[in-house]
Amino acid sequence: MYQYLIVCPLVFLAGFVDSIAGGGGLISLPAFLAAGIPPHLAIGTNKMSSTMGTVVSTARFAKNGYIKGFLSLIAAGFAIIGSTIGAHLSMLADERILKGMMLAALPVVAFYVLKNKNLGDNEEVNTLPKKKMYLITMTAAFIIGCYDGFYGPGTGTFLLLILTGLVKMDVRSASGTTKVINLSSNIAALVTFLINGKVLLPLGIASGLFCIAGHYLGSGMVVKNGLKVVRPVIMVVLLCLFVKIIKG
């Protein structure tokens, strides 16, 4: 029972944060580990709760018209391919290399967020030609998908920044598209863990319900307030990711 008391409230918080700016795994995965769940079971069970929550926030963005359907589906396919490649590479490469790269990159990303106060809410929204929009989105989905399979933390945050910065999406559409890409990656990973018996189903379902509540509340805040909510949460996520990498 104590595992539920530790995991469920923190997964709710993770779902809330993840639905707004990504990075919920920085909260939820340590929660499972802190409850004494072995690493592989923790990752698999975390994927289950995360997938359940992401379904809800994705549906809420879709209901409000903030998901570019065809573009999101194509990007999701590229993300799945990238995630599969990244997962295989993670078994071969030294994770310290990527951590070193992230330590250098995160301050630059944080500076960009601080400097760019609009994050997609300006006159440049939807000004990118359609071909460039598709090309950049698919490339980003594949590369970030590789990162997600290889290492993972902050995947949604990086996607959100690319879609608002390079693709010129408004922050709500970028959040919706990010959710579709994340959901596809989560489902692919969850199926793998389920096949290999690495999911604690009772805890996964219970924590998933809390994650659903967090995603529902968080996505509702993005739909209503957009940039006012997203920008500060992104900064908190980047700071947490930076601390996590330093501590190893």
What is the structure's pLDDT at 204?
96
d(CA 153, CA 241): 7
How many residues are given for the chain?
248
Give the burial class of 118: count Cβ atoms within 10 A of its Cβ; 0-12 exposed, 13-18 middle, 19 or more buried.
Answer: middle
Q: What is the token pair recorded at 198? A: 């690495």
Q: With 80 as the cut, is the pLDDT of residue 99 above it?
A: no
Report the range of poorest mean pLDDT among 54-68, 82-96, 157-171. 82-96
Whole-angstrom distance, CA of residue 73 vs CA of residue 166:
19
CB 53 within 8 A of CB 212: yes
Question: Cα Rg for the chain, rounded, in angstroms?
Answer: 17
pLDDT at residue 162 above 80? yes
Q: Which residues contact 148 (CB under 8 A, 6 or more apart)?
A: 79, 82, 83, 86, 155, 185
In degrees, to the nearest 5, what angle opens at C-alpha 148 toward C-alphas 38 and 156? 110
First vs last C-alpha separation in the chain: 29
pLDDT tens digits for 177-202?
999 998 888 888 888 888 888 899 99
User: What percentage of the chain reaches a pLDDT higher than 90?
Assistant: 29
**Is pLDDT above 90 for 210?**
yes
The region, left, alpha or beta by phi > 0 then psi within -120 to 50, assigned to residue 129 is beta
Instruction: List the single range of 5-9, 12-16, 122-126 with lowest mean pLDDT.
Output: 122-126
- Please tell me the predicted confidence (pLDDT) of residue 52: 95
Residue 118's pLDDT is what?
63
Residue the block writes with tokens 């590369």: 143
State the pTM of this model.
0.80
What's residue 149's pLDDT? 75
Q: Between the ranges 45-54, 114-123, 185-194, where is the mean pLDDT highest?
A: 45-54
State mean pLDDT over 158-170: 88
- Higher local confidence (pLDDT), 102 or 15: 15
